[in-house]
Structure 1
């Protein structure tokens, strides 16, 4: 309960925290026999939220096939082990696609969820923002919105589809650095992280990955065998299912979360809509917003029904935030959609997520006909949310994208370090089944099921935390089929 209360306070605090960090460290690169050797110079962080931590930068080639080419900068924040006599090693913190690992570390520190834990005491925690994300060299795209006003991700005509494609191409053009846009793939990021390992002076890394970064960890170990000591995957994604199956799973998971939310809301006094048929109330709100967009406190910004449906997956990602989600819906019904226009996950930048995903994610469909066919499926599977999930946002946002997909072809894995995959049974963004699909590709890995709706389970679940500590310190895994209920 103490952790959950602090998480709630942290979520509010982060609303007012600037996402800008100016690292006090400068990257240095030395050369030996004509090859670049990465080196990190650490200095004390200047930002109050990271007081006592180390900040640094590391320069890497934008194109690893041409190491003499232009370089970009990676930003790092390190929290050294509080008990150096018991130090195990470095634990690389990796957030999900399009999300800042440094901001995730900030969230954990503000919440107090790391205090007196094994991670706090026995590991140097190292957060690195991937290329194109957050505090590393970013893809800012001239601060254009991902989707301009009037553009829909669910086009109902060829003309609307052409508007969508023009929107996406204009966004890509605004990003400016075409070379970086083409080098945001997993393999390039894995090479960056190998440079980080060398810069840290570690023989092996321990890996804590949320969502997509579990797949990144798999790619890293395949490219650099033996460099991972352990891998902890929290709410894992997977990379072997065909694109339509992956999208289907995500749509079903988000709709399941909404139905669970509606059932909770009907009977729980913490819900601002208690006693009502929340599904019907929500559908009526969406229909009303489609007729007349609902204003927010931002001048000129109003939300359509599509906007409101798309907001819900994020609002339902943590059960802790469900009361807040109900209040946001009620305020929108009363004429103010401001809270539905904000994102709970302050580590996420939608444009940066898209620039990565368009390179790293095979398309489930292309063209107006293909998108229309999948939209029909989405609405059948998801009567309330209509399939408006992040996977659909990627699919629609990548239509006409001028950079080709460069996702690694999944290959069999014959050896892998001890891997624990903690997967919630009802998470709105990472379906329960994905943990098992990923585990099937990683020999010796174990899925630890956690009953509930959450991610970031090291902080929220004592049971998951205990299993994670045993993995990271002793490389021990729980029995297959284990279930956490706390």
Structure 2
């Protein structure tokens, strides 16, 4: 998925300043997966502190507005990660027709990612998968596994550092926000129109505070508390330096969403949720019993305890996956047999770590076993799933040359719309409350629903988001919407 727009030069190559260009030369995309889209490349400085120095390339895609007469401008999407390749993901995204009519729909592979000048830690994505799949599809249990995990991630950094050099210091969110401002200028928009998801909310908040007078419309969906992401928070009770996702509270929101999944499953019949035990309480107990069985008798099933917890954590992201998750759990309960988790084809996780680890503080390797225990105590079995997501950062020595850590309250030209589900397994609702409070001009739209990212699963929310992006009209303060279709049941 990362080779769509790649040029002939190596992915990590940089170009002398003479090759730099400020305009976008749009051409029809060659990849069939991008049919109907136009592709271009923008050259930007590797180091904005040296704007006349070396340059790197950004791979950009767009789909022109269908109503050219009433076109507003370009609407840029960032799909999170960090490390999501927008040039590949945008053609798959369900963009509402109202937005496709009024905006050129656009995205890009951020620096360090995909078909842009990319961090390449291995000779191929396949080589990376062979090296990392066992540590990215699960989490370690016990001291021996923990030590092996940390050693593997230390090896990953050495590989990345050897192959990428100075690029690792120039893939920060601040760098990408400056790239986004260059993209805004390159498409001819006076102010930015932006829709960011998950980590993309941190990118949006960074842009809004670096370029506050350049914000026309900005939607932040599935939020990070920006200060938690960049801050070095110490747990007040145990004095622990928390890792990124424990600071942002993903372990707690995942536990809350898991309990909601089990409660809703327990309230449904077996035709709608295969794992039901007839009541919420009994279904929670059934899940706990399943995990206990897997820990005490690992030979009783084809999957390990950690794999089952990881599958649960992954499938909580999308309500559409909840019925299949319930079936997997029921198969394990009755037969002990279920399919193992699989990696996303072509995923290059080193690119995501290069961004996160360069700018989000994390403790050293010795702290992670105790963070595992802390997360379990705080959030239950799902906690360790989140305590290890930043373990690669424990040995990551390359730090961002341009790191933005606030302030977050610079007054933007127009207000920002913050959107969040109440049960998001990765982006806590309280983080959206914090985001809306930290930004100088923001309005929170609450969706009483489940899963990671509001997206288009709520007609009510979609209507407010579209109206805001097109007309800069915010929903009334305190507005709440519901998802169209509740889990394990028919729509309203």
Q: TM-score range by the shorter chain?
A: 0.7 to 0.9
The 5 A counterparts of 1:21-420 are 21-22=4-5, 36-96=20-80, 97-108=82-93, 113-114=94-95, 117-142=97-122, 143-145=127-129, 147=132, 149=134, 154=140, 156-157=142-143, 162-175=147-160, 176-241=163-228, 242=231, 243=233, 244=242, 247=246, 249-268=249-268, 269-275=271-277, 277-287=282-292, 289=294, 292=298, 303-332=303-332, 334-338=335-339, 340-341=341-342, 349-363=348-362, 365-368=363-366, 370-389=367-386, 392-404=387-399, 407-416=403-412, 417-420=414-417
- Kept in 2, the 8 Å contact 1:329–1:340? The answer is no
How far the C-alpha of 1:434 sits from its partner, in A, is 0.6
Distance change >3 Å, CA 468–CA 293, structure 1 → 2: farther
Moved more, 138-147 or 127-136: 138-147
Tell me: CA distance 1:223–1:455, structure 2 relative to 1, closer, same or farther (3 Å): same
Q: 1:150 to 1:77 in 2, by over 3 A?
A: closer
1:373 is displaced (CA, Å) by 3.2
**Separation (CA, whole Å) in 1 of partners of 2:135 and 2:210:** 43
**TM-score normalised by L of structure 2:** 0.81
Task: Give yes or no for contact 1:253–1:427 (8 Å, CA) kept in 2.
Answer: yes
Distance 1:294 1:337 in 2: 12
1:78 alignment partner, SS class: strand
Deviation at 1:387, TM superposition (A): 3.2
Structure 1, residues 141-195: CA drift from partner, whole Å, max 9, x if none?
Answer: 21324746589855744x6555344312211222210222221211111122122
CA distance, structure 1, for counterparts of residue 128 and residue 50 of structure 2: 30
- The alpha carbon displacement at 1:328 in A equals 2.9
SS in 1 for 2:213: coil
Q: How many residues align?
A: 448
The CA deviation string for residues 47-85 of structure 1, in whole angstroms up to 9 with x for no partner, is 233222101122223323234544332111101110011
Partner of 1:473: 470
Once the two structures are overlaid, the 10-residue window that deviates more, 223-232 or 34-43, is: 34-43
**Residue deviations 1:343-379 (CA, integer Å, cap 9, x gap):** 6xx897533222211112122x3342x3333222211
SS in 1 for 2:406: coil
Aligned counterparts of 1:468 and 1:40: Cα–Cα separation in 2: 28
Cα deviation for residue 246 of structure 1 reads 5.9
**SS where residue 438 of structure 2 aligns?**
coil
- Between the aligned partners of 1:31 and 1:383, the Cα distance in structure 2 is 52
Matches of 2:114 and 2:354, distance apart in 1: 13
- CA 1:30/1:239 → structure 2, altered by over 3 Å: closer, same or farther? closer
- Cα 1:287–1:138 change in 2 (3 A) is farther
Q: How many angstroms apart in 1 are the aligned matches of 2:32 and 2:290?
A: 42
Report the more deviating stretch, 376-385 or 439-448: 376-385
Taking the aligned partners of 1:378 and 1:82, their CA distance within structure 2 comes to 49
Look up the SS of the partner of 1:39 in the other structure.
Answer: coil
Q: Which digits, 9 at most, give the CA deviation of each residue in 1:208-259, with x for residues without a partner?
A: 0001112212212322332221111111112113544961621111011111
TM-score when normalising by structure 1: 0.82
Q: Measure, in 2, the Cα distance between the counterparts of 1:437 and 1:213.
A: 16
Long gaps (5+) in structure 1: 1-17, 296-301
Instruction: Work out whether residues 332 and 338 of structure 1, in 8 Å CA contact, stay in contact via their aligned partners in 2.
Output: no
Q: Quickly say closer, same or farther: Cα 1:478–1:30, change in 2 above 3 A.
A: same
The structural deviation recorded for 1:403 is: 1.7
2:6–2:116 CA contact under 8 A, matched in 1 = no
Q: Which moved more, 1:471-480 or 1:433-442?
A: 471-480
How much has 1:339 moved relative to structure 2? 5.2
